[in-house]
Structure formats: structure tokens, C-alpha cells
Structure 1
Amino acid sequence: MSVRNYRLYWLGMAVSNNGTWMQRIAQDWLVFSLTGSSFAVGVTTALQFGPMLFLGLFGGLIADRYDQRKLLLITQCVLGSLAVILAALTLTGNIRVEYIYVVALGLGLVTVVDNPARQTFVGVMVPKELMRNAVSLNTGNFQLARLTGPAIAGVLIAAAGPGWAFAINALTFVATIGALLAMRVSELQVLPRAERAKGQLREGLRYVAARPHLLWTIVLVFFVGCFGFNFPIILTAYAGTEFHGGAGLYGWLNSTMAVGSLVGALLAARRNVVTVRMLYAAAAGFGVMLMVAGATPWLWLFLPVLAVTGLAGVSFNTMANSTVQLATDASLRGRVMSLYFLVLMGSTPIGSLIVGWITEHWGAPIALGVSGVVVVLAALGCGYLAARQAGLRISLDPRPGRRHLVVAARG
């Protein structure tokens, strides 16, 4: 926060993230109100997040080629314009679900460029030694908005309708655009740009494949995203069938997890150094907390365990994000981060089918337990394979007074 440009950006995003969460809630509610169909809500979500799966690497290449600040000015203006269109159609009574589909697809296409540009812009605003701290504060910003944005949206939708939520979201982009315009360009870091050439997407993939600490971290992110972040499914089942509550309890469960996630992000912001060993240990710890949560039968105990689980999950996410950014050459960072988010966001829909099936047939506690086991095994397996590919040898020594885990060069 001592860096003026980053401080402006963080405050602008704090306003905009709240608006984004408000629009997400209002958009899903409006689609369901118009159609009465959960499938239609799913179609909207697929249209909004699907482009990242198919075009994410191209977005990363664009972020590597062009000035990230100028890219963000363009994407934020387009995102704000889409919110204006949605607000105008809703408030005038001309909204139809097909129009929402088109806007959702537009949001997804813009996000393809906006997401990697935002990630790599952190390294433009702050020096390398502050990047891990800045990434953690960005995560905390998002988690704080996740806590407050849906609550504001709920009140606003009940009082005035979803159209005003879209209108307020459109206004919040003024804060981000204003922050970007108010920055001192002379204080931004100068990063190398990727020149136009053939095979640049393959270059990014080869770069990751040749570096064990990047490759196996991204593979681990796949397993954690696939099995560790299916809480909408899990918490819905807990609120409805395990603890026999309703929408109110579901809200409490989400808020409890958001509080833990926010604390985890703020704690991660205090950490200046993260070793690869700490990263894999954080993933294993998250898996263990998933198993503990699955084995907790009482609501009064489940709530604090859920908060700690959220803390552990965000701690791993923050460590993995900052580690990949710091370990990547600046000219390739956009492509590598787009691959990172493609894996993270693309794995969750896959996992949701698996975890949803387990939850439906065996119950939410079993689903949490199985997810935790998979995450722990993935952390151990990826850690071992990363060390092996890097030419390291791992040995365990359980004897008292000895260093229990030893990592050394083979031979």
C-alpha cells in the first residue's frame, strides 16, 4: 500500500469487485425469475466462463504483447458498457433471457483479455520484492467483496429489483477507470513485450513443461480446483439435508467461509518468502481440513472448521498464484498466467460433476472426505514428481531430533 499506483488500483478494484458480485447475484436471480429454470442459470454461467477455456491462452498472449494499463482501460470500459446495457434493458422492462445470454457471452470474451492483463499488471505497478504481498492483497480485496457484494445485492434486489444492481455495477467501473487514469505512468515498471512471431502459444506451453516448479504447481492447481473448490454444491447440501436449514443457513455457511478466506488472504500478504515445500504443504493442509470438515457432524463445530478450511484454501491459492508469477519471465507471464487460470477455472466444472454425483448418492460429508483425500494425494504426488524431475531426492527420517523431511540433490 506504500506504492501510490497500487494503492489507487486496489481502492478502485475494491469498489468494482463489489459491483461485480452484485451483478453476478442479480443476473442469476433475473434469469431464474424469467425462466424458472436452473438449467438456464447454468447456460448463463457457461456462456460467461466458457470463453476462458477456449481462448484463455490467446488472452495471455495479448497481455504479453501490449501495455497492460491500456488494455485494462479498454476492458473496463467495455465491461461497464455491458452493465449499462443490461441495466437499461431491465429497468425499461425490455429484458429477455436471450439478451442476458448475449451480455454474458460478451462478459466472457472481455474477461479472456481482462484476467491475464490484471494478473500481469501487478508486476508493472510494484517491484518484484513486493509482488507476493500485492497478489495476496488482491485476493483479500476479492474475498472482502465476496463477503459484502452479495449481501448488498440481496437487499437491493428485494427493495428495487435487479436492474438497479446492474446500474450500480456500471457506476463502480468509474472507480477503476479513474484509478488507472490517475496513475503516474513514470512510476510503472517497464517490462519486456513479446514480439509478434509464430509459435508463441506453444512457446508458453514449452516454457512451463521445461520447469518442474511451474509444471507441477499448475498440475496441483488442477486437482485442487477440481476437488477442493466445489463449495456451492457442498454447502447447499449441508444447509438443506445435513443441518436441515434453509437459505438463511446457506448464507451463514458462505459468510463463514468468506471470513476465513479473507483472513487467509491477509495473513498471506504478510509472508514475503514462500518455498516450494511450503506450497505443497499448504495444499496438503487444505486437503486435511476438507477431511476434518467432512468428519464434523455438529453445526456449532462445523462453522469454525469451515472458516479454517477457507483460510487454508485461499492460502494455497495465493501462494500458487504469486509463486507462478514470480517464477515466470516477464515476457511470458501473461501466457503462463492464462494457462494457470484456464486450469483453475476449467477444472472446477469437471469436479462439480464428480463431487455433485458423490454428494447426491453418498452425502456431503463423504464428498468432502473424498475431495480431501484427492487433494492430499495430489499434493504428495506432485511434490514427489516435481522433485524427481528437478533431480532431487526426498527422504523421510522419523527419528526424534532428526530433520524429518530431507530434500537433496540425487547422487
Structure 2
Amino acid sequence: MLAAVSNFASETFSALRVRNYRLYFIGQGISLSGTWMSTIGQAWLVLKLTESGTALGLVSAFQYLPVLLLGPLGGVVTDRFPKRKLLYFTQGAFCLLDLILAILVVTGKVQLWMVYSLALCFGLLVAVDNPTRQSFVHEMVGSKFLRNAVTLNSMEINLARVIGPALAGVLIASVGMASCFFINSFSFLAVLICLFLMRSKDLHPIPPIRQFKGQLSRGFAYMWKTPVIREVLIMMAIVGTLTYEFQVSLPLIAKYTFHGNARTLALLTSATGIGSVLGGLFTASRGKAGTFWVAWASLGFGTAILAVSVLPTLALAATAMVIVGIFSIAFNSLGNTTLQLECTPEMRGRVMSLWAVTFIGSNAIGGPVIGWVGEHADPRWSLALGGIAAIVAGVYGLISSKKAYSKIDLAVETA
């Protein structure tokens, strides 16, 4: 029994044996908790200023539009410059943006256009930061521990989703919203310190590519000609646009369906995080990836969200959000791992930038749509629409993987 438990723990946390990744994991854990506090604070700030689901969706659009439009260019930047140095810049800039918002809120000067402007600046940084962080994981752990490290990253994000919103709910009610933004600003210092403490000799850097004409178009062409990468990105584009809109749908559900407050939103968000941590522990110890498994995770994700959209009480909805979290991390980590293992090293930055476009940038389109649906139809429909989208993506993935297997079988028979 003890041997089985020891083996499970060893497999589940194997990437943490790497010192540099261990430092990165610590820094990210602190920073991500602060980020989730800021996310809850920003959503409640916008609802306080406007009482509008559409406005909440527009903040999401401003925040992620740069990723949608400039994400592929961010991937080119990632491939052309040392990733550790890029992270010094982006993390420092994030620190400054949240400090500005905190000061605006605490002084009572904040207006909606200011929140929009800061969200836009945030998105510009994410367009570079996200593919850089995704690619930097491979430089820290190599191919051997990549799948485990990607899953641990996703699990950590969702553990922060438990801690951050819970703290935010308490702080907003007792101290005020500005505290969320101050804490998030200072949390980025943890990442900067951990980056500084890393040993350069233990990294596995990919030499930056030279600048030449057509780097961006080559990335698109490579993605389209590689079936596994193409299918996973199409699935994420569908799910990212309409399903991963919890920063819009959950505040509306919390306030208008269950007539709650910031603590209600924190409960729903934290429940999702708890499920993601549980799902991450399971996924991290498994070695399977590929279009087929991503598709099944998407089907489970969509079905769980549809269940939440019809449940009558907050307690039942929060319980079901745990299941949503389990399938969410499975879909996310399996898709991310599949892409990184399938692509060539010199294309990794550009491929992961397209992952950022479909996962994060698509919120610029989906956020206003989900916000409008939640405001003018019903908040429950804002969740249901996302559930339907995930099921559609899962069906598409299963059909695509079946066709791929059929081609392989035909090739074997022909040979």
C-alpha cells in the first residue's frame, strides 16, 4: 500500500525533481493566487460601476483582443529572444499595471474607461508572456518531464483558483477591492525572484531563431499541415470562445441567479479550482495524450457545464462545478501537452502562441457574446451555451481522430 502511494506521488510530482522548475512552480503559485484575487476584484468592480453583463464581457474583450490579433506575432518574439529575459520584462510590467489599478481604486478615481485601458495593456503583455511561459517549461524540464510539468502548471493555476477567490471574497467584504490589486501587484515579485535564482547551466534553451521574412506565415503553414496540431487548436478555438468564459458567466450567475455577492462568486470559482486540483493529480500521473483523449475530455467538460446550468440551488451548482474543474484541467493539460510533444522545437513558440490565441484570445469574441446572452436572455444560458460548444468540439475531435486512425490502418494494409 505504502509502495503504491509512494509510486503515485513520485509519478505525479516528478517534474519537481528539477530545481529550476521547482523554483518556477513556487513563484507561479504565489503569483497566480494574486492573479485570481485580481480577477475576482476586477469582475466585481465592473459590476459595481455598471451593473451590466455586457460591460463585463467588454472588459474581457479588451483584455484578450491583443492576444487574438497579435498572438502569432508574440510567438515569433518568443522564438527570437531568450525566454527568461522576456519573462523578466512581462512579469515586471504586470506588476506595474496592477499597482496602477490599485491606486485608482483606493483613491476613488477609477472609471470604466480606465479599467478598459488597463485590460488592453494587460492583453498586449499576455500576447508575449503566454507563449513564452509555455515554451520556457520545456527549457526547464526537457521532453522527459514535459507532460508532468504541463499538468502540474494547470493544477497549480486551479489551486490558485481555490485560494485566490476565497481570499478575495473575504478581503472585498472586509477591506475593499483595492487590496486584491495591491496583493496581485506584489505577487509578481515572487516570480522575478525565482527567475533570478535559477541556474542558467541547468536550462535547455533552444537557440533563438534568426530574423527572416515569412516567419509568421511559416508558423501558420506548419500548424495547418500537421493534423494533430490543427485538430487540437480547432477544438480549443471552439471551447475557448464560448466555454472558457467563466470570468463573465460566473459573476452573472452569482449575482443575478443566486442573488449573492463576491463570496458567492468566490465559492463557485473555488469549487472549479478544487475540481481542477483533483483532476490534475490524476492527469499528472497518466501518460496518455493525443486528439482522442482531448476530445473525450471536451465531451465531459461540456456535459458537466450543462448540468450546472440547470441546477436549482447554489450548493448543487457549486458541487457540480467541482466536476467541471476536473474535466477542465483534463482538456487543457492534454491539449497543451499534445501540442508541445507534436511540434518541432524551433516552432514551439509559434505553435504555443496559436494555443494562446485559441485559448485566451478567443475570449475577446466570446466574452461580449456570453455577457450579452447572460444579460438579455438569462445567466443560465451563458453557461449552457458554453456547455454545448464543448460538446460540439468533442464530437469534432472524435470524428477527426477516427479519420486519422482510418488513414493509418489503410496505409498499413496498403504496405
TM range (shorter): 0.7 to 0.9
* 1:380 aligned partner, one-letter code: V
Query: 1:316 — aligned with what?
Result: 331
Superposed CA deviations along residues 30-65 of structure 1, whole A, max 9, x for unmatched, are: 455456665554443332222111111111110011
Say yes or no: does 1:2 pair with 2:17.
yes
When residues 378 and 157 of structure 1 are mapped into structure 2, their CA distance, relative to the original with a 3 A threshold, is: closer
RMSD of aligned residue pairs (Cα, Å): 3.1
Per the alignment, residue 66 of structure 1 pairs with 81
Shift of 1:386: 4.7
Residue number in structure 2 paired with 1:246:
260
Q: Could you tell which deviates more after superposition, 192-201 or 355-364?
A: 355-364
Of 15, 34, 38 in structure 2, the residue corresponding to residue 23 of structure 1 is 38
- What is aligned with 1:277? 292
Tell which structure's C-alpha radius of gyration is larger: 1
Contact 2:290 2:335 in 1 (8 A): no
The answer to whether structure 1 residue 171 and structure 2 residue 189 are counterparts is no
Q: Deviations over 1:245-300 (max 9, x none)?
A: 53355443333222112211222222233244322222233234345555656766
When structure 1 is superposed on structure 2, of 359-368 and 57-66 the one drifting more is 359-368
| Aligned match for 1:341, one of 338, 356, 359 | 356
> Mean alpha-carbon deviation: is it higher for 287-296 or for 329-338?
287-296
Distance 2:27 2:345 in 1: 25
In 1, Cα distance between equivalents of 2:63 and 2:77:
20
Change (3 A) 1:126 1:28: same
In 2, the alpha carbon distance for the partners of 1:282 and 1:211 equals 21
Distance in 2, Cα, partners of 1:30 & 1:365: 22
Map of 1:397 onto structure 2: none
How do 1:315-394 and structure 2 match up within 5 A? 315-351=330-366, 371-388=386-403, 392=407
**Residues 267-276 or 215-224, more deviating:** 267-276
Q: How does 1:11-410 map to 2 (within 5 A)?
A: 11-33=26-48, 40-231=55-246, 235=250, 244-247=258-261, 249-293=264-308, 302-351=317-366, 371-388=386-403, 392=407, 409=412
Does 377-386 or 194-203 show the bigger shift? 377-386
Partner amino acid, structure 1, of 2:171: L
Report which stretch shifted further, 308-317 or 250-259. Answer: 250-259
Distance 1:155 1:234, change over 3 A: closer
Query: Are the aligned partners of 2:62 and 2:364 in contact in 1 as well (CA < 8 Å)?
Result: no
Q: Structure 2 vs 1, CA of residues 409 and 254 (structure 1 numbering), >3 Å: closer, same or farther?
A: farther
Q: For residue 153 of structure 1, what is the amino acid of its counterpart?
A: A
Report the Cα distance in structure 2 between the residues aligned to 1:238 and 1:350, rounded to whole angstroms. Answer: 20
State the shift of 1:379 in Å. 2.4
Amino acid at match of 1:170: S
Q: Give 1:12's aligned amino acid.
A: G
Q: Against the structure 1 CA distance between its residues 86 and 368, is the aligned structure 2 distance closer, same or farther, given a 3 Å change threshold?
A: closer
Structure 2: tracts of 5 or more residues without a match: 1-15
Counterpart of 2:9 in structure 1 is none
How much has 1:363 moved relative to structure 2? 6.0
Instruction: Answer whether contact 1:12 1:179 (CA < 8 A) is retained.
Output: yes
Shift of 1:115: 1.0
Which amino acid letter does the alignment assign opposite residue 267 of structure 2?
A: W
> After superposition, what is the alpha-carbon deviation per residue over 1:112-141, rounded to whole angstroms, capped at 9, x for unaligned?
111111111000110211011111111111
Residue 145 of structure 1 aligns to a residue in which SS?
Answer: helix
CA distance in 1, matches of 2:309, 2:108: 45
8 Å CA contact 1:17–1:142 kept in 2: the answer is: yes
Contact 2:78 2:128 in 1 (8 A): yes
C-alpha distance in 2, partners of 1:75/1:97? 24
Cα offset, 1:90, TM superposition:
4.0
Matched pairs, number: 398
> In structure 2, what is the Cα distance between the partners aligned to 1:366 and 1:28?
19
Q: 1:127 to 1:98 in 2, by over 3 A?
A: same
**How much does 1:236 deviate?**
5.6
Counterparts in 2 of 1:129 and 1:230: CA distance versus 1, 3 Å = same
Q: Return 5+ residue gaps in structure 1 as ranges.
A: 395-406
What code does the residue aligned with 1:246 have? G
Deviation per CA, 1:327-348, whole angstroms, max 9, x where unpaired?
1111111111111121122434
User: CA 1:83–1:132 in structure 2 vs 1: closer, same or farther (change >3 Å)?
Assistant: same
Percent identical = 36
1:181–1:375 CA distance, 2 compared to 1 (3 A) = same
Call closer, same or farther: CA 1:246–1:203 in 2, change over 3 Å: same
For 2:28 and 2:82, locate their aligned partners in 1 and report how far apart those are by CA, in whole Å: 19
**Structure 2: which amino acid aligns with 1:221?**
M
Distance change in 2, residues 1:305/1:102 (3 Å): closer
Aligned counterparts of 1:231 and 1:184: Cα–Cα separation in 2: 37
Deviation at 1:200, TM superposition (A): 0.6
TM-score (norm 2): 0.84
* Contact kept? 1:391, 1:410, Cα under 8 Å: no
Q: Is the 8 A contact 2:63 2:364 kept in 1?
A: no
